[in-house]
Amino acid sequence: MLQVKIPATSANLGPGFDCLGMALQLYNRITVETNRPFRITLSGSYKEGIPTDDTNLVWKTMCHFWDLINYPIPNLDLTFENFIPPARGLGSSSAAIVGGLVTANTLAGSPYTKLELLQVANALEGHPDNVTPALYGGVTLSVCTENGVLPRILTQSPNFKAVVAIPNMHLNTKKARGILPDQVHRKDAVFNISHVSLLTEAFIRGDYSLLKEGMRDTLHQNQRAALIPGLLETLEAALETGAYGSALSGSGPTLLALIPNNLEKDVPLSMTKALERHGINATALVLDIDTSGAFTSLI
């Protein structure tokens, strides 16, 4: 049997809208048995609302890839083990797309390189900030060029952990993007350009004292605070408790803090308490950074 493990991801990291992302040690798994009648079985923590027919996003992505390379659709028995919460800003759709592409590519004899898979994934997802770390692991920068996405790994194994405070609410990415204005002020664009640059230096040099300032944003977090009660207060609570930096995870509602190892209890507690003051129940996880991206193995 073939198994593909795909990490959750946190996108933007504050100012890096649609270009920065980080892979986390929280995984979905795809297990494949070949030469079996078509079937999709769901397991793991998240099954509700996920289709088990040919409308499933993982399966649709697999079929899309095989269509690209004119490969006949095989008979497969598939098990999708889901531990990445959907519609929470942790890259569940990117995990489905990347997982589907990696699985289909492997079953077809791996005709595409990882870089080629990234181009397909970006075309399907519409932005590369989640799919790049899901494929490559670590903390990544995605540069969109006329020749496609240029991926850069800023750090593969950083010396910090990630706290994700996951509110007990869903937030559709389309809705979270729809609240943003079509145009931005020049001063806000300059602010984010400079802060992405600072954030890049922090990751490359391992100077985490720069993360607090580097993860500040003007383009999307304040705007999305209207959709997530307690967003700004929770990010500030994490900083006051000693986090290196904090930001909205992707389009939310999950909130992210990067912390030293000795704050694994204090920061999650401060974040969940801040959300509780706004009537939001949340689960906080402390996660290491995934270093490999989507990983394929035979079991």
Quick: pLDDT tens for 139-157: 999 999 999 999 999 999 9
What percent of the chain shows pLDDT beyond 70?
A: 100
Distance CA 256, CA 21 (A): 12
* Over residues 242-248, mean pLDDT: 98
Could you tell me if 2 and 107 are in contact, meaning their C-beta atoms sit under 8 angstroms apart? yes
pLDDT, one tens digit per residue, over 200-239 is 999 999 999 999 999 999 999 999 988 899 999 999 999 9
Q: What pLDDT is recorded for position 179?
A: 78
Rounded to 10 degrees, the C-alpha dihedral 254/258/12/210 comes to 150
pLDDT bracket for residue 171 (50, 70, 90): confident
Number of neighbours of residue 84 by Cβ within 10 angstroms: 24
- Helices then strands, each counted (H, E), the chain: 10, 11
What's the one-letter identity of residue 75?
N
Residue 194 has pLDDT above 90, yes or no: yes
Could you tell me if 252 and 266 are in contact, meaning their C-beta atoms sit under 8 angstroms apart? no
| 191 SS3 class | helix
Number of neighbours of residue 18 by Cβ within 10 angstroms: 17
Q: What pLDDT is recorded for position 173?
A: 77
Distance CA 172, CA 121 (A): 20
pLDDT bracket for residue 105 (50, 70, 90): very high
Nearest CA-CA partner of 131 in 23, 59, 209: 23
Nearest CA-CA partner of 99 in 164, 162, 27: 27
pTM of the entire predicted model: 0.95
Which pairing describes strands 139-145 and 20-34: parallel, antiparallel, or unpaired? antiparallel
The beta-strand segments (E) located in the chain are 2-11, 20-34, 39-44, 76-82, 139-145, 148-155, 161-167, 245-248, 255-259, 282-287, 295-298
Q: What pLDDT is recorded for position 299?
A: 82
Residue 172 has pLDDT above 90, yes or no: no
What's the one-letter identity of residue 169?
M
Phi, psi of 277 (to 5 degrees): -65, -15
